[in-house]
Structure 1
Amino acid sequence: MKTCLIVDDSKVIRKVARHILETLDFAVVEAADGREALGQCHAHQPDVVLLDWNMPVMSGMEFLRALGDETLAKRPKVVFCTTENGMAHIRAAIEAGADEYVMKPFDRETLESKLQIVGVA
Structure 2
Amino acid sequence: MSRTMELGVHALELDVALTADRRLVLTHDLTVSAVTSADRRPIYAGDPLYPYVGKPINALTLAQLRTLDVGVRLPRHPDDPFALTQVPMPETRMPTLGAVLGLVNAYEAESVRLHVEL
Query: TM-score, length-normalised on structure 2?
Result: 0.26
Higher helix proportion (structure 1 or 2): 1
Higher gyration radius (CA): 2
Query: TM-score, length-normalised on structure 1?
Result: 0.25
Greater RCO structure (CA 8 Å; 6+ sep): 2
